């Protein structure tokens, strides 16, 4: 049994999704295990709404099953997943559920979103809170770019495919977003 589990763990995301597409729906559980936390982190950073983010993660995975026939395997699974997540996020916004951030960052949120631990010095926590506030002052587009590139660690080429633009355009937009974040952070410190 252990060998079977080990061999499933090394299957690529694309291979797993192609198996799901072919009717082996049990493989979706492995993709869920791999991606539900990063996906939640992305959605939570965008909305700052815990329950809505959890619901949207479920919606993204539901859409993966529903639209599995559209997955070709020619691009990366992760790119396709984030494309679906952006659509779910847009739908969420159109339904009027999306609001400006109103929840403070808690220790639990920090652990989910950036791996920090409760035993960090108070100064580090204050810096994280200031950074989160500076992020929330960014436009939705700039916040999304930084979340995908810095928190989700996607390559510029992946983000370009998700946003249907060029890698060069993404590099410029991320650079500008970082400059704006820096300004926001400095203003909060003053």
Is residue 116 assigned to a domain?
no
Is residue 98 assigned to a domain?
yes
Is residue 113 assigned to a domain?
no
Q: What is the model's pLDDT at position 96?
A: 60
- Indicate if 63 and 128 belong to the same structural domain: no
Report how far residue 22's alpha carbon sits from residue 42's, in angstroms, rounded to the nearest whole number: 28
Could you list the residue range(s) of the whole structural domain that residue 188 is in? 121-190
- Indicate if 96 and 5 belong to the same structural domain: yes
- Indicate if 146 and 174 belong to the same structural domain: yes
Q: What is the model's pLDDT at position 116?
A: 45
Q: List the structure tokens of 36.
A: 């539900």
- Indicate if 132 and 184 belong to the same structural domain: yes
In the predicted model, residues of the chain with pLDDT beneath 70 are 1-10, 96-121
Q: What is the model's pLDDT at position 109?
A: 46
Report how far residue 126's alpha carbon sits from residue 46's, in angstroms, rounded to the nearest whole number: 20
Q: What is the model's pLDDT at position 64?
A: 96
- Per the structure, the count of domains in the chain is 2
Q: What is the model's pLDDT at position 181?
A: 94
- Indicate if 7 and 85 belong to the same structural domain: yes
Is residue 186 assigned to a domain?
yes
CA distances from residue 120 to 103, 112, 123, 150 in whole angstroms, order as listed: 21, 15, 8, 21
Q: Is 34 exposed, middle or buried, given 0-12, 13-18 or 19+ CB atoms closer than 10 A?
A: middle
Domain's final residue, options 103, 133, 148 = 103
- Indicate if 99 and 130 belong to the same structural domain: no
- Indicate if 92 and 127 belong to the same structural domain: no
Domain's final residue, options 57, 76, 103 = 103
CA distances from residue 168 to 127, 143, 160, 172, 174 in whole angstroms, order as listed: 31, 18, 8, 6, 10
pTM, 2 dp: 0.74
């Amino acid at each position: 049994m252990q060998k079977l589990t080990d061999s499933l763990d090394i299957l690529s995301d694309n291979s797993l999704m192609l198996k799901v597409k072919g009717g082996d729906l049990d493989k979706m559980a492995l993709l869920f295990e791999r991606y539900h936390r990063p996906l939640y982190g992305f959605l939570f950073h965008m909305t700052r709404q815990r329950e809505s983010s959890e619901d949207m993660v479920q919606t993204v995975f539901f859409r993966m099953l529903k639209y599995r026939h559209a997955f070709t395997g020619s691009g990366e699974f992760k790119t396709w997943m984030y494309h679906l997540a952006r659509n779910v996020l847009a739908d969420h916004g159109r339904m009027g559920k999306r609001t400006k951030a109103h929840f403070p960052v808690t220790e639990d949120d920090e652990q989910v979103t950036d791996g920090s631990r409760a035993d960090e010095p108070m100064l580090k926590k204050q810096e994280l809170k200031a950074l989160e506030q500076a992020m929330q002052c960014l436009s939705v587009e700039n916040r999304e770019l930084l979340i995908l590139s810095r928190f989700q660690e996607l390559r510029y080429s992946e983000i370009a495919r998700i946003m249907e633009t060029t890698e060069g355009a993404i590099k410029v937009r991320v650079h500008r977003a970082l400059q704006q974040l820096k300004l926001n952070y400095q203003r909060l410190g003053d």
